[in-house]
């Protein structure tokens, strides 16, 4: 999750190119699957970041038929020249090769530069899953049990509008939570026209990448987390509440102040932790409890509403 994970920042840039529909009305999103044209002013901004010809024409959104079209698992090496950050001017290789009888269950190994390794598993239906992610420079290993889905055949929109987010900070005095992330978010949930910015986030290295900058629209929402029980069974955990009217002008990225329906945020987050709640979450408009319950029944999963 740093500049050494060049593929991540490249994917963020390309995702911005695909989903940057700044200035569109919300009615444009009502037609599920319909192509959404990119305003010319935003195309010029993206061309400045990515270069001419990277952003293609708008296409219709359809359920994912073949995940391997998006993650081509091949015995191959991709070579990139870094154009910004601490590694500017250096060549970074991304290597992938197939594994045989790996004890972790992984069937593919990806090496990103000299610091990050990705162990992936391709299923019988060509789904792609994360098995583990060792960081060689820190010694940190993130393992997923069961494997975490990356791309799944048949993926499609399950709710009217949803976004990626996470709990970034906690207000124990007023029982509210700051929702924020670097730059990933659903633009249609913005309260005003989003901006496309160049962020210069610094952690172990300087990481320069494009972000979408906006505040989430006020109103009822539900936070949903996908994890597993102690027995390895799939589980959804949800927290209902409201995005408040408060503005956060001194920070950037997709953000908002979330007021849970539960009165005591300390008790709420304690229960969330004991339920296996993890880092990243989905932010959904409204309180679609019936849909969440039905999805879990159909999948044979557990559902926890906090």
CA 131 to CA 288: how far, in whole Å?
A: 30
| pLDDT on residue 19 | 33
- β-strand pairing of 128-134 with 116-122: antiparallel
Q: Does position 24 have pLDDT exceeding 50, yes or no?
A: no
Greater pLDDT, 291 or 153: 291
CA 254 to CA 181: how far, in whole Å?
A: 6
Per-residue pLDDT tens digits for 194-221 = 988 877 777 666 666 788 899 999 999 9
Q: Does position 152 have pLDDT exceeding 80, yes or no?
A: no
Token digits of residue 239: 């927290």
b or e along 56-73 (b: 16 or more beta carbons within 10 Å of the residue's beta carbon)? eeeeeeeeeeebeeebeb
Q: Left if phi > 0, otherwise alpha if psi is -120 to 50, otherwise beta: which for 10?
A: alpha
CATH tag for 162-305 (out of 3.30.360.10, 3.30.1360.10, 3.20.14.10, 3.10.20.90): 3.20.14.10
CA 222 to CA 77: how far, in whole Å?
A: 41
List Cβ neighbours of 68 (8 Å cut-off, separation of 6 or more). 122, 126, 128
Q: Does position 158 have pLDDT exceeding 70, yes or no?
A: no
Average pLDDT over residues 32-43: 73
Token digits of residue 182: 């670097």
Per-residue pLDDT tens digits for 106-143 = 999 999 888 889 999 998 888 899 899 999 888 889 88
Q: What predicted TM-score, i.e. pTM, was given to this entire model? A: 0.63
Q: Are 158 and 285 in contact (CB under 8 A)?
A: no
Q: Where are the domains of the chain?
A: 6-50, 67-151, 162-305
Token digits of residue 73: 């698992």
Q: Give the CA angle between residues 224, 59, 189 to the nearest 5°.
A: 35
Q: Tell me the torsion sign for CA atoms 128, 132, 133, 134.
A: negative
| pLDDT on residue 154 | 66
| pLDDT on residue 274 | 93
Output the CA torsion 284→288→293→299 (10° steps). Answer: -50
């Amino acid at each position: 999750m740093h500049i050494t994970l060049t593929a991540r920042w490249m994917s963020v840039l390309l995702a911005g190119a695909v989903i940057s529909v700044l200035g569109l009305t919300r009615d444009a999103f009502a037609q599920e699957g319909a192509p959404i044209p990119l305003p010319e002013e935003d195309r010029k901004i993206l061309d400045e970041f990515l270069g001419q010809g990277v952003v293609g024409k708008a296409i219709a959104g359809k359920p994912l038929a073949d995940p391997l079209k998006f993650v081509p698992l091949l015995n191959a090496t991709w070579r990139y020249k870094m154009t910004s950050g601490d590694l500017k001017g250096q060549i970074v290789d991304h290597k992938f090769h197939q594994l045989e009888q790996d004890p972790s269950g992984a069937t593919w190994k990806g090496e990103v530069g000299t610091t990050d390794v990705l162990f992936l598993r391709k299923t019988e239906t060509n789904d792609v899953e994360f098995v583990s992610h060792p960081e060689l420079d820190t010694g940190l290993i993130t393992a997923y049990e069961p494997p975490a889905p990356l791309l799944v055949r048949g993926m499609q929109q399950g709710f009217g509008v949803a976004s990626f987010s996470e709990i970034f900070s906690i207000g124990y005095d007023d029982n509210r939570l700051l929702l924020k992330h670097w730059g990933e978010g659903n633009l249609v949930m913005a309260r005003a026209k989003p901006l496309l910015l160049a962020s210069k986030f610094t952690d172990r290295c300087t990481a320069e990448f494009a972000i979408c900058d906006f505040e989430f629209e006020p109103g009822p929402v539900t936070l949903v987390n996908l994890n597993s029980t102690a027995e390895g069974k799939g589980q959804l955990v949800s927290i209902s509440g409201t995005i408040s009217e408060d503005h956060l002008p001194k920070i950037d990225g997709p953000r908002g102040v979330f007021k849970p329906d539960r009165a005591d945020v300390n008790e709420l987050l304690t229960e969330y932790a004991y339920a296996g709640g993890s880092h990243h979450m989905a932010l959904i408009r409204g309180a679609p409890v019936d849909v969440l319950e039905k999805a879990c029944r159909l999948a044979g999963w557990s559902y926890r509403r906090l």
